[in-house]
């Protein structure tokens, strides 16, 4: 297969490299990724400044296109200019989970969603770790998943959000197909004073309050690999049905 | 009511000011908005740099909080630090429509979605114009909508994405409750050379290919005000049902 590999941690990130190593054994893998970390950019795209592309080499591992844009920009630019359509787009492996509400903020997931909008099947892959990450098992799991997923006859194109616990493989309890958690995070802003006496705020303190066992948040916490199918239709169909009988006078 | 007003065109944008003028006649309106334009930032949030807040004055119109962040940052910071919970969050009036796939890229819509995540009802409001915009009717329409929407008994909190044609009011055909269009745009990159001979790309050429008359895209094009209820659960439930019978061997 011809696979486009991207991420939001930037082209030099270890998670992307680990995935490249594993997938390039059996597939043609082309890398188009942000030149630097672009985490939490959501589905941002770049309209007000032009995009530039550099061919970069990551040690002896691979050559790839580094773009001064967001993950969604990378997928669009790859599709329209640099690479053309591919058999699958894979975004990751992200450093840190992308479950629950964080799915909306995630550049990793938005790259995969963008691929689906453009008609290509896509995986977003994240490892639930921020320190001393080992991507070996996660990369292996993705390579296995890629080989199996086309036999599932999913409606084309599809987008799967895969989150992998950072545990020794034998401690991973299995795989759960999940829903995205929708509860808000327990979060806060830390208010500080700079050396000049001016106030600034750090956004921090994320903690999930999700308890529904069918969600990605809870499955991952329990030690399962979570796989959530995503779409890009934000319509709230239930409310839409209720609205149909309403008249607005103006 | 106590209303938080934000946008993605920045605190000095005409659309925000027009809405402030109209809404402040009947409500307490607090402005917390990006200090400069942050269009197409999607649901980006700012984690790697601290946020700063300045109280600014827009002529004789209003004082408001200007934030060096995204629309979603503004809503979070308002909720947790600057303002607290409000009765409704309104994002807009955006210069340019936010329908179809653009809903995913829109900072305007993401501010409203963020409000819903935090438990507050929200409206995202956009005017389908990029030149010689007149926000008068749109602002009037929003003030009418705000007064009526709580009588509809929508499941709380809710988020409505409102798009208004830029037509003389008597030419507007009415209101349609719509679905978000999901088809990709006809888009392209314009490849140019800078004065030093280096290639750069402009992302441009958006054109909708949507034809489904139930979508926001088509309703707006036909001269209707479109109102689409949105949610923040990206789960593709139909695919999830199909996945339940699948076994992955690894």
- Structural domain contains residue B145: yes
- Structural domain contains residue B48: yes
Query: Could you tell me the sign of the dihedral formed by the alpha carbons of B73, B77, B82, B83, in that order?
Result: positive
> What is the distance, to the nearest Å, from the Cα of residue B63 to the centroid of all Cα atoms in its chain?
22
Measured at the CA of B75, the angle between CA B73 and CA B79, to 5 degrees, comes to 115
Q: What is the ipTM of this complex?
A: 0.93
| C-beta of residue B137 within 8 angstroms of C-beta of residue B98 | no
- List chain B residues with CB under 8 Å of A189: 51, 76-77, 80-81
| C-beta of residue A122 within 8 angstroms of C-beta of residue A86 | no
List the domain range (segments joined by +) for residue B149: 2-182+211-233
DSSP state of A41: -
Q: Render pLDDT for A119-174 as a digit per residue (tens, 0 to 9).
A: 999 999 999 998 889 999 999 999 999 999 999 989 989 999 999 999 999 999 99
- Structural domain contains residue B106: yes
**What count of CB pairs under 8 Å joins A to B?**
244
Q: Render pLDDT for B73-116 as a digit per residue (tens, 0 to 9).
A: 999 999 999 999 999 999 999 999 999 999 999 999 999 999 99
- List chain A residues with CB under 8 Å of B94: none
Does residue A205 surpass a pLDDT of 80?
no
The rounded radius of gyration (Å) of the Cα atoms in chain B is 19
- Structural domain contains residue B18: yes
Q: Can you point out the beta strands (E) in chain B?
A: 2-6, 28-34, 53-58, 62-67, 88-95, 122-128, 159-165, 174-177, 188-193, 199-204, 224-229
- List chain B residues with CB under 8 Å of A109: 234
Choose among B119, B169, B178: nearest CA to B144: B169
- Structural domain contains residue A89: yes
The total of other beta-carbon atoms located within 10 Å of residue A209's CB is 12
What is the tally of structural domains in chain A?
Answer: 1
| C-beta of residue A249 within 8 angstroms of C-beta of residue A177 | no
Buried b (16+ CB within 10 A) or exposed e, B149-175: beeeebeeebbbbbbbbbeeeeebeeb
- Structural domain contains residue B202: no
Structure tokens at B67: 């934030």
What pLDDT, on a 0 to 100 scale, did the predictor assign at position B210?
A: 79
- List chain A residues with CB under 8 Å of B104: 43, 110, 113, 117, 232, 234
Instruction: Compute the mean pLDDT over every residue in chain A, rounded to the nearest whole number.
Output: 94
- What is the pTM assigned to this prediction? 0.95
Choose among A3, A2, A247: nearest CA to A123: A3
- Subunit contact B105:A44, Cβ cutoff 8 A: yes
- Subunit contact A51:B243, Cβ cutoff 8 A: no
Peptide bond into B93 cis (omega under 30): yes
Annotated binding site of B for a divalent metal cation: 8-9, 39, 94
Does residue A24 surpass a pLDDT of 90?
yes
Give the C-alpha distances (Å, rounded to integers) separating A50 from A47, A77, B201: 7, 12, 5
The total of other beta-carbon atoms located within 10 Å of residue A49's CB is 11
Measured CA to CA, the distance from residue B70 to residue A102 in angstroms comes to 16
Does residue A189 surpass a pLDDT of 90?
yes
Measured CA to CA, the distance from residue A9 to residue B84 in angstroms comes to 33
Q: Render pLDDT for A210-239 as a digit per residue (tens, 0 to 9).
A: 789 999 999 999 999 999 999 999 999 999
Percent of chain A with pLDDT strictly greater than 70: 100
Tell me which of B208, B243, B244 to substitute to probe the interface with A (most A C-beta atoms closer than 10 Å). Answer: B243
Alpha-helical runs (H) found in chain B: 14-23, 71-77, 102-105, 107-117, 136-149, 216-221, 237-243
A94 marked ligand binding residue: yes
The rounded radius of gyration (Å) of the Cα atoms in chain A is 19
Percent of chain B with pLDDT strictly greater than 70: 100
**CATH code, B120:** 3.40.1210.10
Instruction: Name the pairing type of β-strands B159-165 and B122-128.
Output: parallel
- Subunit contact B42:A42, Cβ cutoff 8 A: yes
Percent of chain A with pLDDT strictly greater than 90: 85
- Subunit contact B228:A240, Cβ cutoff 8 A: yes
Q: What are the residues facing A208 on neighbouring strands?
A: A185
* pLDDT interval class at A41 (50, 70, 90): confident
Structure tokens at B84: 């607290």
Between A145, A180, A200, which is nearest B235 by CB? A180
Nearest CA in chain B to A161: B235
- Structural domain contains residue A124: yes
- Structural domain contains residue A190: no
Poorest-pLDDT segment among A80-84, B202-206, B218-222, B244-248: B202-206
């Amino acid at each position: 297969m011809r696979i486009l590999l991207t991420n939001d941690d930037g082209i030099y990130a270890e998670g992307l490299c680990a995935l490249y190593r594993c997938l390039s054994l059996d597939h043609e893998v082309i890398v188009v990724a942000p030149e630097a970390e672009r985490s939490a950019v959501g589905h941002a795209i770049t309209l007000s400044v032009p995009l530039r592309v550099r061919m970069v080499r990551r040690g002896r591992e691979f050559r790839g296109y580094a773009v001064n844009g967001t993950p969604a920009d990378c997928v669009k630019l790859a599709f329209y200019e640099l690479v053309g359509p591919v058999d699958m787009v894979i975004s990751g492996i992200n450093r840190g989970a992308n479950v629950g509400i964080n799915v909306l903020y995630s550049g990793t997931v938005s790259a995969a969603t963008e691929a689906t909008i453009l008609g290509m099947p896509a995986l977003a892959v994240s490892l639930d770790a921020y320190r001393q990450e080992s991507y070996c098992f996660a990369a292996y799991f993705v390579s296995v998943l890629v080989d199996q997923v086309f036999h599932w006859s999913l409606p084309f194109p599809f987008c799967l959000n895969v989150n992998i616990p950072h545990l020794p493989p034998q401690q991973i309890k299995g795989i759960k197909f999940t829903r995205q958690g929708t509860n808000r995070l327990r979060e806060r802003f830390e208010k500080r004073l700079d050396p000049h006496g001016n106030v600034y705020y750090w956004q921090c303190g994320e903690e999930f309050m999700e308890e529904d066992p069918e969600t990605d948040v809870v499955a991952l916490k329990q030690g399962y690999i979570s796989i959530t199918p995503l779409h890009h239709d934000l319509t709230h169909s239930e409310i839409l049905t209720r609205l149909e009988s309403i008249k607005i006078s103006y």
